[in-house]
Structure 1
Amino acid sequence: MREIVVLHENEEWLVPLREELKKRGVKATEWFLNEGRVPYTELPEDSVYYNRMSASSHTRGHRYAPELTKLVLTWLESKNRTVVNGSHVLALEICKLSQYAALERAGLRVPKTHAVVGSGELLAAAKAFNQWPLILKPNRGGKGLGVQRFGTLDEFAKFLEHESLDEPLDGTWLLQEYIQPKAPHITRAEFVGQNFVYAVQVNTQGGFELCPADNCAIEDKFTITKRFNDHEIIRNLESFLRSNDIDVAGVEFIENQQGELFVYDVNTNTNYNQAAEQRAAVKNTGMGALAEYLIDLAE
């Protein structure tokens, strides 16, 4: 059996995966990526490399972790190593417009969105966008941080006049139509090995910060649902994952008042809420499915 190597920048998120691998008698090597070197002309070990890099790494002080990971993944792929969620997937993780373009190619509906570089351009961009209410969010925020809703142009203008905005990490803002949900929740579908595991409803009444990881989740905010188990959107999302070589992902979508489904976020560094899994007594947990997938590849 080959070694499993997990590329990451957040040790806390590895705890449940470590436990699931341990149950199966396996211990992975954990490669923390924030600063370091990439020996491109050397041959890497013939292992299974799982990319767990996150677009929110900068919120933990790891500013250049995605850039370093991109170099590492390029090295591994150039030497024909087995990589789970490779360099193309990392590119999708850090660019919402790239996600939307790929989703639309797969026939999935996404919210109306404009990208803006430079805070001084936001007011004119909002006038041109002319979708109210609208959502303002950074392209690279993470965990729903920095996402705000505005009801009118006047409200938005007053906010820009009186508030000091911190520029997003990559300088890119997104203006997005606010989709009035049919019910106060979004749905997050989890996939491992490009196959559907389960869907979870996430209550949005408390705001836009929807991190499912156990160390940042709010109790009872996450509820596993069977509503979409046989729904067309799951088949379409599996096709989308296959078309883009995405092995592991949590994909978030919302249902509007007319029953239309809009996909708005692809999380290629996905976490699972163990409390929700326990309440639903699911047999196939997210981390359990992930551990078995990595072991199968290693064998």
Structure 2
Amino acid sequence: MKIAFLYEHPTWSDALIAAFERRGVALILRNIADLSFDADATDKPFDAAINRINVMPSSERQPQIVFQTLHYLNWLELAGVRVINGARAHFIGASKAMQNGIFSALGLAHARAIAIYRPADALAAADNIGYPVIIKPNIGGSGYGIARYNTRAELAEAIRLSALDLGIDRSGLVQQHIESDGYVYRIEVLGDQLFYSIRQPINEGSYNYCAADGCAAGASSANNHDAIDHDAIDHDAGDFPARDADSPERIEAFSPPESIISAAINIVRHCGADVGGVEYFIDSNTGAPCFYDFNPYSNFVRNGESLFGFSPENRYIDFILASL
């Protein structure tokens, strides 16, 4: 079987590719940064493809790659290629608005949000939601472009100064600000099973809670106006030391309730993904989980074997080979 491995981040997939090689699985490596494809081809270029392409904007690549990737994944599926985390999962992973729609459809608690594409519309949206609000790009990640506005006057001034960053496609969310219990929780799913679960303390001034190797590469920081969250999370909930990207001990395994595991599996399924991560925090006012992110490519935590007692890469490969 010819298996393609689609990737683009400089380091996110190195350990996984090496693990495939150790297992004797020959991959056809496709760096999406160099992608062009014959749109008129009638034969399948390969039997299956593993999509490990993230949608997070970064300084190392042109933003149009995001949309070229979406065209390519749809084209592969039309050609009959089995794609692990195909076009639907990829699109929903890119769209904060779509993720909110999934959470709402499943009846799961989440931060209320209004999608906009004109910065001037942020005022009416924020008036509807109530201050403080979070404004973020619809396509983003690792805290990219996120800003908090405490008052209408602050937001009006930011609009006047053209300071709102709505990201690479100029669409964004005006989102309810919710106080958390001081942690980001993440559940990774393989198919309909729990892969692993971790939590990290929320750190004031840091917005990148990705736990994968190389995650800090090219990540952007949040904007001004007391930008407080990764995705609607209150960093004022407590005092935490600055996050050190080389300190995996700050990431810890935990055992989530079965109800939250089931919710995460349901989210991944409804997003059309084979594998994926779901992030949430605990609303300090209600004590209930508040879901805020679906990520179809955040599968590997640093030092996973020491955290969990198994190799996440090998377990991922077992799942992939059984799925093809």
Moved more, 56-65 or 168-177: 56-65
After TM superposition, give the deviation of residue 171 of structure 1 in Å. 1.0
Residue pairs, 1:178-197, within 5 angstroms: 178-182=177-181, 184-197=182-195
Per the alignment, do residues 165 and 241 of structure 1 end up closer, same or farther by CA in structure 2, a change over 3 Å counting? closer
Moved more, 244-253 or 68-77: 68-77
User: For the residues of structure 1 that align with 2:311 and 2:113, how far apart are their CA atoms?
Assistant: 34
User: For the residues of structure 2 that align with 1:25 and 1:51, how far apart are their CA atoms?
Assistant: 20
Instruction: Identify which of 242, 248, 252 aligns with 1:224.
Output: 252
Moved more, 210-219 or 185-194: 210-219
After TM superposition, give the deviation of residue 163 of structure 1 in Å. 6.6
Moved more, 10-19 or 148-157: 148-157
Moved more, 28-37 or 168-177: 28-37
- Could you report, residue by residue, the CA deviation over 1:22-69 in whole angstroms, capped at 9, with x for unpaired residues? 232223221112341233442114422011222214543232223222
Gaps of 5+ in 1: none
Structure 1 vs Structure 2 CA RMSD: 2.3
User: For the residues of structure 1 that align with 2:155 and 2:21, how far apart are their CA atoms?
Assistant: 51
Please give the secondary structure, in 2, of the residue aligned with 1:168: coil
Moved more, 160-169 or 52-61: 160-169
User: For the residues of structure 1 that align with 2:129 and 2:80, how far apart are their CA atoms?
Assistant: 44
- Give 1:63's aligned residue: 63
What letter is aligned with 1:173? Answer: G
Instruction: Identify which of 243, 247, 266 aligns with 2:274.
Output: 247
- Give 2:84's aligned residue: 84
Q: Does 1:265 align with 2:263?
A: no
**Contact persistence 2:57–2:168 (CA under 8 A):** no
- Give 1:26's aligned residue: 25
- Give 1:115's aligned residue: 115
User: For the residues of structure 2 that align with 1:174 and 1:61, how far apart are their CA atoms?
Assistant: 24
After TM superposition, give the deviation of residue 166 of structure 1 in Å. 4.1
User: For the residues of structure 1 that align with 2:148 and 2:266, how far apart are their CA atoms?
Assistant: 32
Instruction: Identify which of 174, 192, 196 aligns with 1:198.
Output: 196
User: For the residues of structure 1 that align with 2:174 and 2:301, how far apart are their CA atoms?
Assistant: 29
- Give 2:38's aligned residue: 38
User: For the residues of structure 2 that align with 1:122 and 1:218, how far apart are their CA atoms?
Assistant: 37
Please report the TM-score for the alignment, with normalisation by the length of structure 2.
0.82
- Could you report, residue by residue, the CA deviation over 1:192-228 in whole angstroms, capped at 9, with x for unpaired residues? 2342111111221133222222222352474233230
**Contact persistence 1:188–1:251 (CA under 8 A):** yes
User: For the residues of structure 2 that align with 1:255 and 1:152, how far apart are their CA atoms?
Assistant: 25
User: For the residues of structure 1 that align with 2:6 and 2:149, how far apart are their CA atoms?
Assistant: 38
**Contact persistence 1:198–1:224 (CA under 8 A):** no
Please report the TM-score for the alignment, with normalisation by the length of structure 1.
0.88
**Contact persistence 2:186–2:280 (CA under 8 A):** yes
User: For the residues of structure 2 that align with 1:179 and 1:45, how far apart are their CA atoms?
Assistant: 47
Q: Sequence identity of aligned pairs in percent? A: 23
User: For the residues of structure 1 that align with 2:46 and 2:133, how far apart are their CA atoms?
Assistant: 48
After TM superposition, give the deviation of residue 278 of structure 1 in Å. 4.6
Residue pairs, 1:45-194, within 5 angstroms: 45-57=45-57, 59-130=59-130, 132-161=131-160, 164-182=163-181, 184-194=182-192
**Contact persistence 1:200–1:225 (CA under 8 A):** yes
- Give 2:14's aligned residue: 15
User: For the residues of structure 2 that align with 1:23 and 1:203, how far apart are their CA atoms?
Assistant: 34
Please give the secondary structure, in 2, of the residue aligned with 1:265: strand
- Give 2:5's aligned residue: 6
After TM superposition, give the deviation of residue 15 of structure 1 in Å. 0.4
Per the alignment, do residues 203 and 38 of structure 1 end up closer, same or farther by CA in structure 2, a change over 3 Å counting? farther
After TM superposition, give the deviation of residue 159 of structure 1 in Å. 4.0
Aligned residues: 292
Per the alignment, do residues 44 and 117 of structure 1 end up closer, same or farther by CA in structure 2, a change over 3 Å counting? same
User: For the residues of structure 2 that align with 1:26 and 1:80, how far apart are their CA atoms?
Assistant: 22
**Contact persistence 2:211–2:251 (CA under 8 A):** no
User: For the residues of structure 2 that align with 1:128 and 1:107, how far apart are their CA atoms?
Assistant: 21
After TM superposition, give the deviation of residue 76 of structure 1 in Å. 2.0
User: For the residues of structure 2 that align with 1:290 and 1:264, how far apart are their CA atoms?
Assistant: 24
Gaps of 5+ in 2: 217-244
**Contact persistence 1:95–1:139 (CA under 8 A):** yes
